[in-house]
Structure 1
């Protein structure tokens, strides 16, 4: 995480690195979960526990589990399924969907009701509670949790290559946007569209960014689009006003706008599939009952490492 490399690539100075960068190298997936469980860790998780996979959660009444599983299978880029509850109602054990990886390898000591720093609660498809610390009092024996890969997982590799995302460098949450790109439907999940996360990069670095993130298929893989023209192609209304997360910034920490740099040094938005997509699908479907998700940017940090899930 050498500040000189970051400066050369994106212009982020050493003074802008996350204030907890040194302690982050000592964090593990379990330590983040235990801290979240005790309500000691309540911040967003970009840059936390480097090399440990981070994940999105969606927790549904069991009658929707089969449809949701198919939704993930049909839409593996925005909804890469890593694991689910070991049984209906189980909040402390996982069944793995990663070949060759057991549920206990994904997260051995886990409490799905507490281990995200913050949660969202939906009732009959409508958001009722935002950024609550736990969902223990609302969990039932009929709930099934799905664990979905998160693009925060490849940010360690980008940073090691001198390509630290600007939101990480400035201690911010990643910007996330609704798009007009449709999901392949499954059962009750109709008319849903992709949510994407965005990280700005110089044009000259895009192929390197693609190469680095491509093997992370279980956590969205390489970008789905890039460039200022992609904003319109994806149907994003205003890049300065994300639907989730925080407004995007350039390397100096000011508002991201077109026209910074020229030629291959131009700074452009780069978009990835995002695991907030299922929460959008839940709202579009108007599911009956209580549904939970992680608060965008406040992920479940797992025990499995990035080296365990890479595809080459």
Structure 2
């Protein structure tokens, strides 16, 4: 039996698709709190209806979170126990809640985790790519130029990269990944995880572009994309320093960003454009 303590915030993970994934502890927590702060109250109301619960709902989303913090803190100070949920999965992971949790931590309030479903962890568990190290990037920039710039900056990572993407931008994002990472980089598309039409496809980026284009239904749903890490550079294999260190040394010798990038690319076998991007980013304060 879950013991709900007054004055505490419970961060509760909810299903990403299959309602059977809600834990017994999560259900008992939602049933025991005095109110639930929800990203979309209509969505959460349907979940509560399925569970036979009628807890009061308070909207908390990206547009009103700052306004809600003071009110929720006041309710906690008065002894209420409150749960925080997102539309699906674990709150704060590409969802609202950070400002609230941060404010409560700074105020010395108790914040407890009720863990459970997460599309990121679910995708990592079934994709077939290395999971000993990974980076979570969240949603890529919507603007093509910004997206390409960001992907170029990530291309040198030697561990699995996890991103989220919508169906309407999936084809454009995959095309940009081919350009940034190369057509032969291994990747996986996880679609509609835990739902009826759950699909996971592991292949090269070039093959995934063709796979998506072959069936318009593959553009429907919610997507987690995982990109395999870059192979060890020829510089590492030869015992040379990391490209960032190489750039720093070349810049200290008075070379401009373009010249330093060109030399570093020749030594490492890497992309001049990608290394130049690293050099420019290193110059920023």
Query: What is the TM-score of this pair, normalised by structure 2?
Result: 0.24
More helix by share: 2
Q: Looking at both structures, which has the greater relative contact order when contacts are Cα pairs under 8 Å and sequence separation is at least 6?
A: 1
Query: What is the TM-score of this pair, normalised by structure 1?
Result: 0.22
